[in-house]
Structure 1
Amino acid sequence: MRAEISPAPEGSFTEADGVRYHYIEMGEGAPTVFLHGGGPGCTAWSDFGPVAPLFARDRRCLLVDILQYGRSEKCVIEGPMWDFHAAKTVALLDALGIERADFVCNSWGGTIALNLAAQYHGRVRSLVVTGSMPVFYGPLAPLPEGGRRGRNARDAYYGGDGPSPEKMRGLMARLEWFDPEAIPDETVAMRYEQSVDHEEMELAARSDSPRGDWQDLTAELGRIQAPVMFCWGMQDAFLTPDYPLMLARMVPRGQLYVMDRAAHHLQEERPHDYHAIVSGFLDQKSEPIE
């Protein structure tokens, strides 16, 4: 059963350690932070809009636009990128008065949350990660396109004649969804419109590295105390399920769930199934390792 995505709520803004975040808040209960992926035009609502109302039935859901995306600040990042994002996300928690939260994350957002969990143990109760690449190697074979498939796709999308709705749909069909026919027109339009935001276009056009220095998190994964579930699509075009199985063995309390008929955005493709699996994991009363 596929949930339709509705127009994004207006959301709110807050300052956190010198940067401005945009976020959407829904529901009441245990604080749960949703961090989206890094594809062109991705926002918290584009990635989690179909599934957020399900979680909001009994959770306080905070759908955060990651810095450089959506309506959050398009700041230039210098130095290690995941360290920067983790520190700023903790500052956001402080600004919102949240001491400890669950995290539900896709791709780029999952790598941020893994680093945050490693460095700020007390701030993460549990963590769900889908389609993220915190280390630059795989257990069985080289990663597709040397681990640069996402960056190559971004370059192709913004290159040539520039972005278009057709290129956005093609990117999503090729890399993010299992069934191209199921991609909602509304999601394509939302992603395309955000991708041509003038500040986002300026970041994409820069020849230097406005996103910061890439980090391999091999050393950090072993320091994560919170329980982690890697929830993966069987047909993920970036990283096949042998990769998250490796990750699940690298973290002290890791486990893996692989969903059939799903690719890189399973929370959009199969929102009700995703909610059932993830909420069951989050509702466990397990505590971080002391």
Structure 2
Amino acid sequence: MTTLQHVDTPLGTLAYRVEGEGKGLPLLLCQRFRGTQDDWDPAFLAPLVAGRQVIRFDNAGIGASGGTVPESLDGMAEVVVALLDALGLEKVDLLGWSLGGFVAQHVALKVPARIRRLVIAGSGPGGVSEGPAPHPRVREVMAHPVNGEDDFLFLFFADSDTSRAAGRAYLERLAAVPDRVPVVTGPAFVGQLKAIGASPGVRDRLAQLAMPVLVANGVHDAMIPAYRSYVIASEAPDAKLILYPNSGHAFLFQYAEDFAAEVARFLDA
């Protein structure tokens, strides 16, 4: 396991890990709701770090980071900027998954000169009232104090034997990760929910995302329907959309090598 490091910022002491090396800009990863830096799939990370430096971290109040969970997505974006400042990084590539995808959009809008290329996985812009709605059970299952295997497979993978098998394989890979940071606490979970609810979204600002954007999702995402990825790709001026078959919210771990290759190709273009 890569060494856990800490850096002080005005918004708290942030925990992070750095892997890989390369001549290009570092790639910063923004994690999902209720996820920590150690919930990234090792099968996805391995090909990513083969050609570049990759930084994963816990936002304020999450995992091994200090501080408190910000009250809005904009506040979470401020933590990302504080991390860049503390690490002396003037410009990076940025990948956000799920909640991290929302946060990444806020970061790119807040400091566009510091984000060269943006990857938004399994996310949306907020403020999308038309199109398919999330599965009616999502809110109930997300609110469970602990999400067991059945909950996780429902939320993150498609309702098929193939996708569920991929989900179980992902959970096995995570279970083998040593020296994990602490799980997200109950208060932090509630804080994230409040921050999401307090943020109206950035759909009306997508046209301002001038950097190249790669948007991707699984076609059967129960939580954030793939239509919302389409909205980003159709309204941001320089965006490309990829949809993966027979997959859901965690398509990037079901198709880990394929999506990592797409990300690498996009960042190297």
Superposition TM-score tier, normalisation by shorter sequence: 0.7 to 0.9
How much has 1:201 moved relative to structure 2?
A: 2.3
Find out whether 1:63 has 2:56 as its counterpart. yes
Paired with 1:205 and 1:123, the residues of 2 have a C-alpha distance of 30
2:8 corresponds to: 15
Give the % identical residues. Answer: 23
Match of 2:215 among 227, 230, 236: 230
Match of 1:216 among 187, 192, 201: 201
How much has 1:108 moved relative to structure 2?
A: 0.5
Paired with 1:255 and 1:181, the residues of 2 have a C-alpha distance of 29
Over aligned residue pairs, what C-alpha RMSD do you find?
2.8
Match of 1:130 among 118, 121, 128: 121
Paired with 2:207 and 2:65, the residues of 1 have a C-alpha distance of 31
Paired with 1:274 and 1:83, the residues of 2 have a C-alpha distance of 27
Paired with 2:117 and 2:217, the residues of 1 have a C-alpha distance of 17
- The TM-score normalised by the length of structure 1 is 0.79
Find out whether 1:31 has 2:41 as its counterpart. no
**1:53–1:190 CA distance, 2 compared to 1 (3 A):** closer
Match of 1:186 among 162, 172, 177: 172
Paired with 1:74 and 1:132, the residues of 2 have a C-alpha distance of 25
2:78 corresponds to: 87
**1:104–1:76 CA distance, 2 compared to 1 (3 A):** closer
**1:194–1:175 CA distance, 2 compared to 1 (3 A):** farther
How much has 1:241 moved relative to structure 2?
A: 2.6
CA contact (8 A) 2:5 2:17 kept: yes
How many positions carry a matched residue from both structures?
Answer: 259
Counterpart secondary structure, 1:137: coil
**1:281–1:188 CA distance, 2 compared to 1 (3 A):** closer
Amino acid at match of 1:154: M
2:154 corresponds to: 174
Amino acid at match of 1:228: V
Paired with 1:205 and 1:231, the residues of 2 have a C-alpha distance of 27
Q: Deviations over 1:183-220 (max 9, x none)?
A: 234356489x98984x71233468x9477722321223
Structure 2 portions without partners, runs of 5+:
none
**1:195–1:203 CA distance, 2 compared to 1 (3 A):** farther
CA contact (8 A) 1:118 1:225 kept: no
Amino acid at match of 1:186: E
**1:205–1:106 CA distance, 2 compared to 1 (3 A):** closer
Amino acid at match of 1:132: S
Paired with 2:196 and 2:120, the residues of 1 have a C-alpha distance of 21
1:5 corresponds to: none
Counterpart secondary structure, 1:91: helix
Paired with 1:50 and 1:138, the residues of 2 have a C-alpha distance of 35
**1:45–1:203 CA distance, 2 compared to 1 (3 A):** closer
1:153 corresponds to: 141
